[in-house]
Every structure is written in structure tokens, then in C-alpha cells.
Amino acid sequence: MGGTRLSYDIESWKVDRVWDKGDLYRKKEYERETLVRTEHILVEFGGIRAVDDVSIKVDRGEILGIIGPNGAGKTSLLNVISGFYKPKHGKVYYKGVDITRLPPHLRVKLGISRTFQHSELFMGMNVIENIMTGLHPWRKGNTLSYALWTPGVMKWEEWAREKAEHVIDLLDLHEYRYHIVGSLPPGVQKRVDLARALAQDPEVVFMDEPMAGLTREEKEDLVRAIIEVYETRGITFVLVEHDLEVVTDICDRIIVMDFGKVIAEGRPDEVVNHPLVVKAYLGG
């Protein structure tokens, strides 16, 4: 959010949108279903409430934005939903089933995938190898079977490589297939991170600060990829962001957090003019 932009009128941004949906964008109709729901989540670090009594829901077929200034509690909430943090209080539900104590790799197998704010890619490995690491929860066998390269291991390797090639095709990463990830620009690394999540066949993908550190052109490429995947595969997306322009551009609904609490929720045109949101972003 640039410091010089003081108007929160959605219409005034239409000319300068991050990505113009144009004729390609068609909102699909989905059977109404809540995929992910949190109830009264509380996360504390040294007595400081990073997430303070937060209850949200993510519906199938939407692109949801969770925004707020740095330190608002967005990533902490995401870490609870994906299983990396255990809340001091509260519950997480997936399709109505309590998954609060379920470990991250089992949540992935249920259909919850995520990308990371700071790259968790293996910088010394190439793109296809990085994507295949996301399929580790489905890996079978033990250390000995991998050392002996048994038929079962070879079958898994063939399956994982095929899935990796599919998402490489989906996100147009062909030219980078065998490139070492650490040598790639940030925008391509973000697409590799997304590809790894998509290889897991998720129903919902949580993306943590996907636009952080990207140029405008890289943001356009990533937004285009998200919309195309949403349109072609019907995957629900949650963008945990602080870039107000991006989320108002592509999200159906926005939740705003500040100091660990939800301070506003609704359609983009409702949220951006909310007094508490303006205060959170501009101060005063």
C-alpha cells in the first residue's frame, strides 16, 4: 500500500488494477459449503496475544483475502489453520470435522495446502525436485527400501514426477524445470511454491504474503496464475496479505485483522472504506 494513496474508492482503482479479469473471468457457481472454520482462536507468545478470539470461515469456491498491517496476526492464524501452531484456546474445523490437533502432513492429505511468506523451497534443488518434495506425505517405504530402490519406491517416484510435470504445465514453468531454484527470480520462486502446493491436489490453498518482495510485473504474473488455477481447477484460495490493492482486485470477500483481532469483514467495496481499516493502514 503506497503512502501517497489516500483514496479508498474502489472505482478509482479500476484503471490501475493489478490484473484486468476481462472476458476470461467467469465466476463459477458452487454448492455452498464451508471448507475451513475457526472458532475463538487464541494464540499467545510470552503473554502477548498474536491472535485474539478469531472466528472466521472459508467457503468453497471463493477467493478470500485476509489482510492487515505487519504484526496483525495473519500468519499466526494461518499457522494455526495449517497445523504449525497449536492454539491456547479455540478450534479449527475442516468440512465440519475438528482438526485442531491434527498434524500438518495429515491436513495436507485432507485437502489443505499452503505456500510460505519466506521461501521454504530447497534452494540447491531444481524446480521439479522441489515440487516432488510436496508429495512427501504420500511417500511409502523406509530408508532401506529407498536405498535399494525397490519397485514400490520406483512406482512412487514415477507417480510424483508425473504430478510435478502436470503442475509445471499448469503454471507454465517448462523452461525452468531443471533450473536450480536458488538461481531463479523471486516471482518464479513464488510460482514454484504454488506449484508444490497444487501438486498435493488441494481443495483450498492458503498463500502467506504471496506478493511480498515482488515487482509489479511479477505480481501480475502470480495473480494471473492464481485466477487461471481457480478458473480451471475450481480450487478455493485464501490470500493472507497486506497488499490492499491486490486483494481488492481479485478477492470476493476480505477479512481485516489488526493487533490479533478481526476488525472488519465483507466485500472489498465495503471493507476498504471501513473507518477501522483506514485507521489501521494510514494511522490517525
CATH number at residue 212: 3.40.50.300
Distance between CA atoms of residues 102 and 76, nearest Å:
17
| Residue 272, domain member (yes or no) | yes
Core vs surface per residue 260-269: b (16+ CB within 10 A) or e = bbbbbbeebe
Q: For position 95, what pLDDT does the model report? A: 97
Would you say residue 260 lies in a domain? yes
pLDDT for 224-254, tens place per residue? 999 999 999 999 999 999 888 899 999 999 9
Give the total number of structural domains in the chain. 1
- Whole-number pLDDT of residue 138: 78
Q: Is the dihedral of CA 139, 144, 146, 152 positive or negative?
A: negative
Least confident piece of the model among 150-154, 187-191, 249-253, 271-275: 150-154
Tracing cell 479455540 back to the chain, one arrives at: 90
- Answer yes or no: is pLDDT of 17 > 60: no
Confidence of residue 20 (pLDDT cuts 50, 70, 90): very low
Residue 263 has pLDDT above 60, yes or no: yes
Q: pLDDT class for 145, splitting at 50, 70, 90?
A: low
Please give the residue range of the domain that contains residue 88.
32-120+186-282
pLDDT value, residue 141: 67
Q: Which helix (H) or strand (E) holds 118?
A: none
Instruction: Tell whether 214 is covered by a domain.
Output: yes
Please state, in angstroms and rounded to a whole number, the distance separating the CA atoms of residues 193 and 198: 9
Among candidate residues 108, 64, 45, 25, the one with its CA nearest the CA of residue 271 = 64
Band (284; pLDDT cuts 50, 70, 90): low
Percentage of the chain exceeding pLDDT 90 = 68
Q: What is the pTM of this model?
A: 0.85
Task: Specify the DSSP class assigned to residue 117.
Answer: S
Is 161 part of a structural domain of the chain? no
Q: How far is CA 31 from the centre of its chain?
A: 22
| CA 108 to mean position of chain CA atoms | 13
Joined together, the cell numbers standing for residue 17 give 488494477
Please indicate, yes or no, if residue 59 is contained in any of the structural domains: yes
DSSP 8-state secondary structure symbol assigned to residue 28: P
Query: Is residue 160 assigned to a domain?
Result: no
> Residue 151 domain-assigned?
no
CA 195 and chain centroid, separation:
11
What pLDDT score was predicted for residue 189?
96
Cβ atoms of 22 and 51 within 8 Å: the answer is no
pLDDT (mean) for 272-282: 83
- Residue 150: pLDDT over 80: no
Between 18 and 101, the more confident residue is 101
Question: How would residue 18 be classed by pLDDT, with cut points 50, 70 and 90?
Answer: very low
Rg (CA), the chain: 19
DSSP assignment of 219-254: HHHHHHHHHHHHHHH--EEEEEES-HHHHHHH-SEE
What local confidence, expressed as pLDDT, does residue 157 receive?
87
Residue 72 has pLDDT above 70, yes or no: yes
- pLDDT per position as a tens digit, 90-137: 999 999 999 999 999 999 999 999 999 877 899 999 999 999 999 988
With respect to residue 80, please indicate whether it lies within any of the assigned structural domains: yes
What confidence score (pLDDT) does residue 23 get?
42
- Please determine, for residue 77, whether its predicted confidence score (pLDDT) is greater than 80: yes
Long-range CB contact pairs, 43-48, < 8 A, 24+: 43/73, 43/76, 43/77, 43/80, 43/85, 43/87, 43/88, 43/260, 44/88
Q: Mean pLDDT, to the nearest integer, of 273-277?
A: 88
The residue among 12 and 239 whose pLDDT is bigger is 239
6 has a pLDDT exceeding 50: no
**Would you say the C-alpha torsion 192, 78, 30, 249 has a positive or negative sign?**
negative
Average pLDDT, the chain: 86
Alpha-helix runs per DSSP H in 86-198: 104-110, 127-133, 143-148, 151-170, 186-198
115: three-class secondary structure by DSSP: strand
